[in-house]
Amino acid sequence: MTTALALHPTLKATDRCDRCGAQAYVRVDLKTGGGLLFCAHHAREHLPKLHALAANVVDETGRLRETSP
């Protein structure tokens, strides 16, 4: 499994968490195909269990800490 930290966001504002519908900041590509989208809250809750099933994780939660000049 690889974890990608995006310098340029790959997730858009229209990408929504599969659990609650909030803006998604984490995408998990599964080894079996398909993927899941999570908001930061649900990513923290579910990622520890999903790492064994993940082929790739894109974590853009760092965007939440960025500030505009």
Q: What is the pLDDT of residue 65?
A: 85
Q: Taking a C-beta distance cutoff of 8 angstroms, is the pair 36, 27 a contact?
A: yes
Q: What is the pLDDT of residue 9?
A: 66
SS3 3: strand
pLDDT at 66 over 70: no
Report CA 1 to chain centroid distance, whole Å: 14
- For residue 24, the 8-state DSSP code is P
Predicted confidence (pLDDT) per residue in 3-60, tens digit: 555 455 689 999 999 999 999 999 999 999 999 999 999 999 999 999 899 999 999 9
